[in-house]
Amino acid sequence: MKTVHKLLLLSVIALFMVRCKNETHSSRTTISENKVRYAKGFSIVNYDGYSLVTVQNPWPKATQTYTYILQEKKGRVPDSLQKHTIIPIPVKSMVVTSTTHIPSLEMLDAEKTLVGFPHLDYISSEKVRARIEAGKVKELGMNQSLNTEVLLDLQPDVIIGYGIDNNNPTLDNLQKSGLKVMLNGDWNEETPLGKAEWIKFFGALLGKQKEATAIFTTIEKEYLKTIQIAKNAQNKPTVLAGDMYEDRWYLPKGTSWGSLLLKEAQSRYLWAETSGTGSLSLSFETVFDKAKNADIWITSGQFSSLREMTDKNPHYAQFDAFRNKNVYSFSGKKGKTGGILYYELAPNRPDIVLKDIVKILHPELLPTYQPFFFEKLK
C-alpha cells in the first residue's frame, strides 16, 4: 500500500509541476507583436494579460534599453518581469513633457487623460488649451526641473518623459517617490514616418493599439502617395533652410528628418551631403557662399514677414530667394499663447508637411492643395 500511495503522491506532484510549467508558459505566450516598421526607438509585444514595451535610443548614443510592462486589468505578470516598471492600463491620467506628445493623445481621442505639462504656453492644440483654461491641466514648470510637489499631488498613472542624455535627476527622484515614469524617444527618430509611428506607443498605454495602428496606416499611405506624386517633378529646385539665431545659422543636417522630407519632395537641399540627425551650426559667411543663389528658402519659425527678417539681419536681403520673394515659413499658425503649431504637430503628421513642401517646390503637381503649415512671407 505504501508503494501505491507513494506512486500516487509522485503522480500528483508531477501533474502539479506540469500545470505550473504550462501556466508559466501560457503567461508568456505571445498573442501578437504590434509591428513597428519605421521607428527604431521602441517595440511592443502583446502577451496574455499584459504588453511588453521596450524603448531603445531615447537619446543619441544611448547604451541602455528600457523595458516597461503594461498590465491589463486582472492580467498576470510573470515573476521574471516584476523588476521592470509595471503600469496598469488603460491609463486614465498622464503627464507628458513634450508638445510632440500632445497630437497622439488628441488623435486617439484621449486628451482628457492629460493632467499636467511643463510650460503650458507652448501647447497650441485648441482642445487641450480649452482644458488648460478650465484648470484641468496643471503647470509643472520646466522639463528639467518638474514641480515635484504638484506631481505628487496629481498622482498621474504615468509620466512620459524624455531626455537629451542619461542625466535627468528630476525623473529619477519622481520614480523614487513612487511615480511611474516612461521614456519617450520620438524626437531622436531619423525618419518622418519613424517619428509619426510613436502614436502606437500611446495607443498601447491607452488600450487603443488598433486605433493607433489605423491612424498611422492612414498617415503612412498619404505620405507614400505624395512621394510618388513628387517623382513626376520636372526639376529639382535648390533649397536653403533655417536662419540666424544669435550669431550662428542653424539648419538641418543631411540625414535628419527635415532633410529627408526635402529629398522626398524632389529638391536639392544644399547640405544634403552632411550626416547627423540634429542641426548644423554655421557662420553667415559659410551659408551665404553656398546658398546665395538658392531657389527656395524655408526659414525657421522666427519670422512672419520679409521686413521682420531684414530688421533682424539686413544681409538676408542679399540672397536670391529673398529678392525673388521665395521665402517660406511655418510661423503663421500659432496657439492662443504663442506656441507654434508646427513644432507640436508636424512630427506626427509628416504626410501634411510633405504635401506642403511639394506644393512649394512643384505647385503644378498639387494644383488644388492649400498648404497647411507653410506660407510665403510677404
pLDDT single digits (tens) 226-263? 999 999 999 999 999 999 999 999 999 999 999 999 99
What's residue 32's pLDDT? 75
Q: Round to whole Å and give the CA distance between 146 and 115.
A: 14
Q: Domain extents for the chain? A: 26-220, 231-376
> Given this model, what pLDDT does residue 108 score?
98
Identical fold for domains 26-220 and 231-376, yes or no, is yes
- Whole-Å CA distances, 295 to 174, 318, 371: 50, 13, 19
Does domain 231-376 bear CATH number 3.40.50.1980? Answer: yes
DSSP-based three-state secondary structure for 4: helix
DSSP letters along 241-283, please?
E-EEETTEEEEE-TTSHHHHHHHHTT-EETTTTS--SSEEEE-
Beta strands 327-329 and 50-55, pairing class: unpaired
The pLDDT value given to residue 59: 85
CA 140, 146, 151, 152 dihedral sign is negative
pLDDT at 167: 72
Interhelix angle 209-230/350-361, rounded to 10 degrees, is 10
- 257-291 pLDDT, tens per residue? 999 999 999 999 999 999 988 899 999 999 999 99
pTM confidence score: 0.89
- Give me the mean pLDDT over the 304-330 stretch: 97
Task: Tell me: pLDDT of 25 over 50.
Answer: no
Instruction: Name every residue whose Cβ is closer than 8 Å to that of residue 80 and which is 6 or more positions away in sequence.
Output: none
**Which fold does the domain 26-220 belong to in CATH?**
Rossmann fold (3.40.50)
> pLDDT of 103-157, one tens digit each?
999 999 999 999 999 999 999 999 999 999 999 999 999 877 899 999 999 999 9
pLDDT at 362 over 90: yes
Residue with cell 494579460: 49
